[in-house]
Homo-oligomer: A and B are copies of this chain.
Amino acid sequence: MVRKKEECGLASRDKRVTLQDVADDAGVSRATASLVVRGSKSIKPSTHKKVIESIEKLGYVYDRVAASFRSQSSSTVGIVITDFENPFYHQMLTKVEDMLYEQQFTFLLGMSSESREKQERVLETMLEHRVCGIILTPVVDTQPTLFNKLRALQIPALLMGREVAGSGADYVGTDYRLGSQLAVRHLVEQGHRRIAYIGGMLPGNTAYQERIDGYCSALQEYGLEVDPKLIIPTPLNREGGIRAIQEVLQLENPPTACFCHNDIIALGVTIGLRLQGFIPGEHMAIVGFDNILETETVEPKLTTVSVFHDQWGVEAARQMLDRIGGLQSDPVKIIIPPKLIVRKSSVCFKGLPNLKA
């Protein structure tokens, strides 16, 4: 028996089922089928049913690429993070995913690895994919010109945690200055007079600068002097904390408390103290920043400043959805207030043993 090519099993399997096929099968027009697929209310129930049945029968898969293309719209949001290791992103991404998903949006994820060049290329790729919005944790030295193209294409952008002056983008973050003040005030109230700041110092980056400001101003509130020797720059990871505390312990006149840039560093400080034979908390008070999960399970539990990263995700998604919905306004700054979480690491201090022994 001779078959025409279109009737061959192989040929038909290679061919995608289209809305036209569904319409033919259901005995309606393509336009009608399209309305059914998109859940229009103005379709007779009996017609709706027929079309749905044909869709199931034929295994039709809606082609969003074609739909986006035709309507020149998009349901894809681009999210660019610096890396996957930082626990900060997990709560944030979980919330953002949840909320965007609810509204039928999908997201493209990119990673900048703290490289300005990679960030630029990732962003360009996302524009090529016609995302309808971008949520970005900018790398440290991001220039405002990065956002020129986004503005020209009228694609809303939202920055997370790090501001870029002149970007014209919305911003979600916290008041790092206040957070640092809360931490340092608490330590002073606990009786500490010499308090180290352990963390990065990247000039021009607000998230860094504000912490230092808060640290200094809180000390000054109590008439305490800022000793530059107690400001210890270090890489923002566990190792950085371990190395920094070794440095601290060798100072002429060591501090009795450490306020750390983030929890990861504070955990490094905890480890580092043990490595040197000290008891974290008892010999040296410690306060972190972020309130990651590990702060509750480390011994001693870590006092920290919670910045509610899950809330950042909620606000970022909400604001982005508003912008995608067409909201026109000047750039918005959403600041989630930080809160001090007091745990054992800052309230069990017994004094430093003689270091020079």
Contacts and interface: CB of A to CB of B under 8 A. Distances in A.
Interface string A119-150: 00010111111100000000000000000010
A64 B149 CA distance: 17
Contacts of A110: 97, 101, 106
Q: How large is the interface on A (under 10, 10 to 19, 20 to 34, 35 or more residues)?
A: 35 or more
A211 interface: no
B61 A128 contact: yes
A129 B293 contact: no
**Which of A65, A69, A107, A109 gathers most chain B CB within 10 Å?**
A65
A129 B89 contact: no
Interface in A305-327: none
B293 A274 contact: no
Contact of A152 (B59, B74, B129): B59
Contact of A84 (B94, B238, B271, B299): B94
A85 interface: yes
Contact of A63 (B76, B130, B298, B299): B130
Contacts of A84: 89-91, 93-94, 97
Nearest to A68: B65
Contact of A299 (B90, B106, B271): B271
Nearest to A268: B297
A65 B297 contact: no
Contacts of A127: 61
Given A128-B62, A299-B274, A107 B109 contact: yes
A102 to B, nearest CB: 11
Contact of A107 (B90, B108, B294): B108
A267 interface: yes
A8 interface: no
Contacts of A268: 297
A111 interface: yes
A185 to B, nearest CB: 29
Interface string A47-87: 00000000000010111111011001010100000011100
Interface in A183-198: none
Contacts of A153: 16, 61
Contact of A59 (B98, B109, B149, B293): B149
B130 A65 contact: yes
A38 interface: no
A13 interface: yes
Nearest to A130: B65
Given A65-B68, A297-B238, A125 B149 contact: no
Contacts of A128: 61-64
B64 A129 contact: yes
A103 to B, nearest CB: 12
11 contacts: A14-B154, A59-B149, A61-B127, A61-B149, A63-B128, A65-B65, A85-B293, A101-B110, A101-B111, A106-B110, A107-B108
> Lowest 7 A-B CB distances belong to which pairs?
A84-B90, A109-B109, A64-B128, A271-B297, A62-B128, A69-B69, A65-B130
Given A61-B124, A64-B128, 5 more contacts: A61-B153, A65-B68, A84-B93, A108-B109, A271-B297
